[in-house]
Amino acid sequence: MRPAFDPSRVRALCFDIDGTLLETDDILVARLERLLPLGHASARRLVMAAESPANALLTCIDRLGLAEGLAPLLDRLHRWRGLGTVDTFRAVEGSIEAVRRLAERYPIALATAREARSASAFVEAFGLRRLVACVSSARTTRRGKPHPAPIQWVAERLGVPPPACLVVGDTTVDIQAGRAAGAQTVGVLCGFGERGELERAGADLILPSVAELPGILLGA
């Protein structure tokens, strides 16, 4: 049995972007509703059901060492999934405010499957440049999530051991990457992941959204 979540271990925070800080899932649902004659509930079920196979495909490409050769195609896929233009960015309610509060105590990093330009656009769009110490994007490390390399890279740049990081994300690959690096993990239910699969992946804590995290870590 894994030990209970221990806030006292946390010295740095590492956030996913899509579905964690951005409402990517809701935007994809709306896009699907426009493309197909589906109601909202059916469109959401389809988007959620497609996320795990999509992640599995990307993980397989990563493990086979094909990511570099397929980089242009993968970047287009990540931009489509992440809806990377600034005018489509819509933050999860309370998420950006939570990051700003948490940055008063903890160094902040991002670990995302977005390519570097799109990740940078997100940081600029929400005025986080001075708060985010580093960003691990699609090509920063040779291996991507669920491999621990992005979390290890972030921890090194933040100057903390990986077990002192708290990895926050909405999908199983976020949780798996954090666990593989030895970090504690928080799963959030505001994106693509569902409680059962996040629990099975080993999340130390599950919250409705990032907005609840300051109450856990800051006690207010």
pLDDT in tens, the chain (220 residues): 567 899 999 999 999 998 999 987 454 544 544 555 555 454 445 444 444 545 444 555 455 554 555 456 555 555 555 445 556 788 999 999 999 999 999 999 999 988 898 899 999 999 999 999 999 998 899 889 999 999 999 999 999 999 999 999 999 999 999 999 999 999 999 988 889 999 999 999 999 999 999 999 998 5
pLDDT score at 90: 87
From the number of C-beta atoms within 10 Å of its C-beta (0-12, 13-18, 19+), residue 166 rates as buried
Q: Let me know: does 202 contact 174? Beta carbons within 8 Å.
A: no
Q: Looking at the domain 8-220, which fold is it?
A: Rossmann fold (3.40.50)
- The per-residue pLDDT for 220 is 57
Each domain of the chain, given as residue ranges in start order, spans: 8-220
Give residue 187's pLDDT: 98
Q: How far apart are CA 182 and CA 179, in angstroms?
A: 5
Q: Could you give the 3-state DSSP secondary structure of residue 22?
A: strand
Query: How is residue 91 annotated by DSSP?
Result: B
CA angle 108, 113, 118 (to 5 degrees): 80
Sign of the CA dihedral 196, 198, 199, 204? negative
Tokens in use for 79? 């931009």
pLDDT of residue 4: 85
Give the list of residues 6+ apart from residue 216 with CB closer than 8 angstroms, or none: 7, 205, 207
In this predicted structure, what is the pLDDT of residue 74? 55
